[in-house]
Structure 1
C-alpha cells in the first residue's frame, strides 16, 4: 500500500459576468469534492467570471467583482480544509493576466498566470490578457485590502512556481498550455511535480475530443504523473459550447471521466490515486538523466498532506482503476452539443420557447430533431435526475408557476408548450410532399404546428411594386430575366422571415388567450431558429435577411453531409422512421413554380455539390489555401475524376461565388461552432467582405495549364497512378 489520496476536478456551467451564479457553482463543486473525500479541488479556466467575458475583461469593475467573489469563497465554511485551484483574471502592476489562484484555509498560496495565450480560431485572449513574463519568474503580489482584512495576509507570490506539500508537489497549467509543443508540464514533471492540473475553457467541435484525450494522455505517458483536467460546460453567453469531460489521468491511464454533454450546473469527478505509482513509474534512467539537469522552480510551501500515512490507510480502499474513454459518435455529438447549447440559451434569455420555419427539407428537419433531443435531455434531467435547476427552468419556460406540481410524462409534453413550428408554403411552388413531411415531423416531436400559405402577401407585394414602377417581374420560365427570377424568389424568402418573427412574437399571446388556464402564461416571446447549414453559407446560397436570419442557428456550423448522417442516426436512435423520407428527398428551396418538367434542385442551382463544398471549406479555412493552392491540392485529390482544366473551372467558380456573396456572411445568424471550417464572420472566420477578382492566382493557374498542353484536358489514369505510387 502506497500513499493514497483522493483528488477532484470538475465541469461547471458558468455564465459570463454572472458572479452570483458562478460563485454558487464553485462553492457547490467544493462541497461535493469534500463530500467525496477529496483533498484537492481543481476548477475550470476563469470560473469566477466565466470564460466568455470578452471586452468586459478590460473593465475595472470586472476585476473588482472577481476579488469580491473570491473573498467570499475562501472564507466560506464549506471551502475550508481542502486545497483549492480557482480560475480568475488578476491585475498585477497594471497588467491583466489569466490566472490560477491556489488557496488553502482562506490563505492565498500562489497566483499562477497563464504563459501561452489562446489567440487563434475562436479565441482572442491577447486582446484582454498578457502572457506571463517567462518560465520560473516569480514576484511578490500585494493583495487587495478586502483580502488582507480576512486573515491579515498582505501579499503572496505570483508567477511560474509550484506548490510543495508535506507529501507531494503540485503544478498548474491553463488550457492552451497543454496544446503547445513544449508545455509547462514537461519541465514541472522533471522537477518532481507529481500532480499537474489543467483548467480549461475548451470548446466543443465535432471529433475534437479524441485530440484532447490524446494530449492529456501524452502529458503523463512519457514521464509519469497525475493529471487533473477541468473544463467549463455549456453556453456561457456566446457562440461556443464548452463540452466538459473533466478527466483524471495517472501515468497515461485515464481513471475518471466526466460527461461531455450535460444539463447539470455542477459535475465533480474524483479518483483515488497512489503517489507511489508515479514515483515507481518515473524510475527510469533517461528520464532521471534529464531531471538532474532541470533548473528548479520556486516551491511555495503548504503545510498540508494530501495523502494519509500508509499505516493509517483503510486496506479496503484501493486506487481507482483505469477506465475506457467514452466517445460519442459524430452523429450523437450533433444531437447533444447544439441541444445543450440551445437549452442554456433559452433558459438564460428567459424567453417562452422556440419558433422554427419547418420547410420539409433536411436542414429544418435536423434543427427540429435537435430540439427534440433537447426536450429529451430536459425530460431526463427533470424526471430521472430530479435536478432542481432543470425543474425550475422547465416550469418557467413552459409557463408554469414555480410552485407548480406539473411534470411532463414524455419529451413531447415539453415540446408542445415551448416549441412552435410553421410550414409557410406557396400554392404554386410548394409540393404536397414537403407539406406532409413537415406536419408529420411536428406531430412526432410534439411541436405546436401551423400550416399556412403566404401567396396573398406575396402577390400584394408584387402588385404594389408593379403599381409603383409599371413593370411586371416574371419567373425566367415565363419569359423573365435572371434578375426578375431571383427577385421573385427573394420576396418569398424574406416574407417568411417577417412572418416567422410575427408568429414568434405573438403566438404565446394567442395561445394564452385560447388556453383554459390563461393564468399559466408564457413570459416573453419565442426565439426564432435559423436552419442554414455551413456549406450553403460558404457558397452564399441564401437570401440576405431571409428565413435563415434568426435569433440563433443550431446547425450553422454543421455540413450538409454530417446533417444527413445525423438524421439517419436519429431515425433509429429516436425510433422515428419518417426521418428517412427527408434524406431521400432531393434538396429544394421551392421558390420557383413546380411544373411537370421542372422541380427546383439546390445542387443544380448552386452549380456545386454539397460534398464539393465541404472540400472547398476545409481547404480554404483549415489548410488556408487560396485559388492557386486549392487547385494544386485538388490536382491530386480529384485527378482521377476531373482534368486539370475542369478542376480549375470548379475552383474559379467557387471563389467567384464566395467573393460576390461574402457580404452575406457578415449578417449570419449566430450559430454554435461545430466544425473547423465554420464561416461565422463575427468571430471565427475573419476576412474582408469586399473582394476583387483573384486574377493574379487565375493567371498563374492558366500559365500552368498552358504548359501542360493536352494533358490539361485529360483525366488521370487511376490504375497507372497506383502503379507509379507503388
Structure 2
C-alpha cells in the first residue's frame, strides 16, 4: 500500500461513576485538545462515559438510555476527527461493553468486548455478555440503525480494529484474527487497574503485540481513583512493529493526560522516533505515586475536608501521615498551587489567594496543616519513644498535632465491667479484653475530630494484620478509608526507610528505629508484633502461598521446609497458627473500611478474596501436616 501518515492520540481520563458533568467535560477537553493538534484518531478509555465502576447499575435499563443520550452529545464534538471511546449498550436483556467509533460527528459502529475479566478483582460476567468472534449485527436506537460486533474499520486507507482491555490478555486474543484481515492498527481502550509492577507486563503486552501482528498499537487507560478501591495509572502507549513510540508519565494528578504521535503506515513503515523503556520498575516510587493520587481523588470525590489520623508513632500510622504529605507535595508539583487548591474542593477564594502569595517552600507545609490533623492517644503502656516519633513526624510535615491520654476512660470501662461481673480483671485471665479496650477507647475521640473537621478518618491496619486478625474491631480498624490495608508489614517497614532516605522525610527516623508493637500490654512485657504472631516475612510468605498460589496447608508447610524457612516443628507451629487465626477472623476482614488495591492481590472480600465467615477451620488439613 502507499505510505500514509496518521496522527494518533490516546488520552487517559480521571472519571467517576455517574458523574456526568465531570466525565463529559474530560471527554470534551480531550477531544478539543486532540483537534488543536490535528489528530486523526483519538482513543479514550473503556466505559469512560459512565465510569468503569458502576457495578450493578450496568444492569439498570435507564442507565443505558441515559448513557446513549450522552454519547449523542459527544458525537457533536467530533468535527473533523475520529474518536473512539468506551460505552455500554443494552440490547434485549444483554449488556455489552463496547468501543464506539465516531467519525466527523457520525457514529460508524460499535465493537463489543469478547473476553470478560473474571479473576482477581474483576466480576465483568455479572454485568456483561461476551460477543462472539467474527459476528456483526445491527441494532436500532431512536430510529437510527448501527452496526455492532467484530468490525474492521478504515481511516484514510488504514484498516484498524479493537482489543478492549481483557481481550489483549488472552491467548486467543482478537489480534490473532486481525492480522490475516490486513489490520494495520489496533486500538485498546482499557480500564486496567493499578498493581505494583503491572505496567511492566502491560508494556510487553502492547509492544510485543505490535511486533507479532505487524501493526501499530494504541493503548489508553483510565486514570486515578475512580470509584473508591481501584486505582488506574492512566497509561497511554503507542507502539509499532516492536518499537515503543510514546509513553506518558503514569499516575498523574491531571484530569486529562493526552499523548500523540505521527505514525507511518505502509508495507515498510518508517518509524522516525522511538523511546527506551527501562525496567525494572521501582515499586517504592510506584507505590507512593499510587497511594498519594488515590488519597487525593478519594478526598475530593467524597467532598471531604482533609484527613484525621490517630498517630501512634508506629509504622502504619506514620506511613498514612507521610502519604498525605506526599499527596500534597506531588499535587502542588503537578498542578501548581492554584490548580491543587481548586481541585481539592475545600478552599475559598481568600485561601487560594493566600496560598498563591506565600513562598513556595512554605506552601506544602501549610496545606498539609489544613488537610491533616493527628492525635497521639497515650496510655500507661505507651512509651516516650512512640510519643516522640509521632510528635516529631507531625511537626516535620506540618500536620496539626494533638496529644492526650485515655487512661481515665480505660479505667472507667474496666471499673464498670468489674462491678458488673464482681471480680477484678487481670492480665493473666483477661489479656485480650484489657488490650482491646485500650484500642477501642481511642476511637470516639478521633472520630469526634473527624466529624468536627468534616474529614476522612484514616484506619491504619495493614494486610499482614488483616490476614490473622491482629487488630481491634472498632479500635485501630475504625475509619472512613483504610489506605494501607493492601500492603504487607514487611514492605511497609522497608518503604518507610526508603521514604526517609529517598524522599527526605527525616521525621521518619524515629519510627524507623523502633520495633513494631501495639503497646497494649504493660511495658515490662516488652510486647512486639512479631513476638505475638511470628516473623512478618514468614507470615507474609504463608499468606501468599495459601491464598495467591492457592496451596493446601500441607503444601504450604512443605514449601517452608523446602525453602529452608523453618525447621519442621517451627514450620508446623507457624502454619497451624496462621490458618487458625485466618479462619477465626474472616468476620473482621468483612468489616474493614474501604481499602485501595495496590499489590497483585489483596484480602478484601469485597474485591479480591472471598472466604466463608463460618467454616471447619482447616481442622483435618492441619492434623495431617506431617502425614
User: So what's the TM-score if we normalise by structure 1?
Assistant: 0.83
Output aligned runs, 1:521-600, within 5 Å.
Answer: 525-595=454-524, 598-600=525-527
- The equivalent residue for 2:400 is 448
Matched, 1:269 2:215: no
Q: Is the 8 A contact 2:120 2:601 kept in 1?
A: no
Q: Deviations over 1:286-342 (max 9, x none)?
A: xxxxxxxxxxxxxxxxxxxxxxxxxxxxxxx98433343577511112211011011
Tell me the secondary structure at the aligned position of residue 397 of structure 1. Answer: coil
- The equivalent residue for 1:522 is none
Tell me the secondary structure at the aligned position of residue 389 of structure 2. Answer: helix
Tell me the secondary structure at the aligned position of residue 192 of structure 2. Answer: coil
- The equivalent residue for 1:714 is none
Q: CA deviation at 1:399?
A: 5.5
RMSD: 1.9
Give, in whole Å, the separation in 2 of the partners of 1:331 and 1:182.
Answer: 34
Give, in whole Å, the separation in 1 of the partners of 2:8 and 2:351.
Answer: 37
Matched, 1:487 2:426: no
- Which ranges of structure 2 fall in alignment gaps of 5 or more residues? none
- The equivalent residue for 1:90 is 89
Q: CA deviation at 1:548?
A: 1.9
- The equivalent residue for 1:124 is 123
Q: Deviations over 1:503-523 (max 9, x none)?
A: 2112x3xxxxxxxxxxxxxxx
Matched, 1:498 2:498: no
Tell me the secondary structure at the aligned position of residue 625 of structure 2. Answer: helix
Matched, 1:605 2:605: no
- The equivalent residue for 1:10 is 11
Tell me the secondary structure at the aligned position of residue 163 of structure 2. Answer: strand
- The equivalent residue for 1:460 is 412
Q: Is the 8 A contact 1:232 1:242 kept in 2?
A: yes
Give, in whole Å, the separation in 1 of the partners of 2:192 and 2:31.
Answer: 21
Moved over 6 A (4+): none
User: CA 1:405 to 1:443, structure 2 compared with 1: closer, same or farther past 3 Å?
Assistant: closer
Output aligned runs, 1:378-397, within 5 Å.
Answer: 378-383=331-336, 387=339, 390-394=340-344, 396-397=345-346
Matched, 1:340 2:293: yes
Q: Is the 8 A contact 2:388 2:510 kept in 1?
A: no
Q: Is the 8 A contact 2:252 2:334 kept in 1?
A: no
Q: CA deviation at 1:397?
A: 2.3
Give, in whole Å, the separation in 2 of the partners of 1:419 and 1:581.
Answer: 20
Give, in whole Å, the separation in 1 of the partners of 2:439 and 2:349.
Answer: 35
- The equivalent residue for 1:135 is 133
Aligned residues: 622
User: CA 1:645 to 1:492, structure 2 compared with 1: closer, same or farther past 3 Å?
Assistant: closer
Tell me the secondary structure at the aligned position of residue 160 of structure 2. Answer: strand
Q: Is the 8 A contact 1:621 1:676 kept in 2?
A: no
Give, in whole Å, the separation in 2 of the partners of 1:199 and 1:675.
Answer: 23
Q: Is the 8 A contact 2:376 2:390 kept in 1?
A: yes
Q: CA deviation at 1:572?
A: 2.2
User: CA 1:701 to 1:324, structure 2 compared with 1: closer, same or farther past 3 Å?
Assistant: closer
- The equivalent residue for 2:320 is 367
Output aligned runs, 1:305-324, within 5 Å.
Answer: 319-324=272-277
User: CA 1:630 to 1:353, structure 2 compared with 1: closer, same or farther past 3 Å?
Assistant: same
Q: CA deviation at 1:678?
A: 1.1
Give, in whole Å, the separation in 1 of the partners of 2:97 and 2:151.
Answer: 15
Q: CA deviation at 1:689?
A: 1.3
Output aligned runs, 1:199-214, within 5 Å.
Answer: 199-214=189-204
Give, in whole Å, the separation in 2 of the partners of 1:398 and 1:572.
Answer: 33
Give, in whole Å, the separation in 2 of the partners of 1:166 and 1:74.
Answer: 20
Give, in whole Å, the separation in 2 of the partners of 1:244 and 1:341.
Answer: 12
Which of these residues, 245, 248, 252, is aligned with residue 242 of structure 2?
Answer: 252
Give, in whole Å, the separation in 2 of the partners of 1:253 and 1:239.
Answer: 34
Q: Is the 8 A contact 1:540 1:658 kept in 2?
A: yes
- The equivalent residue for 1:185 is 175
- Which ranges of structure 1 fall in alignment gaps of 5 or more residues? 149-153, 282-316, 509-524, 704-726
User: CA 1:539 to 1:122, structure 2 compared with 1: closer, same or farther past 3 Å?
Assistant: same
User: So what's the TM-score if we normalise by structure 2?
Assistant: 0.96
Tell me the secondary structure at the aligned position of residue 553 of structure 1. Answer: coil
- The equivalent residue for 2:43 is 42
Tell me the secondary structure at the aligned position of residue 280 of structure 1. Answer: coil
Q: Is the 8 A contact 1:392 1:402 kept in 2?
A: no
Give, in whole Å, the separation in 1 of the partners of 2:291 and 2:62.
Answer: 32
Matched, 1:473 2:473: no
Tell me the secondary structure at the aligned position of residue 424 of structure 1. Answer: strand
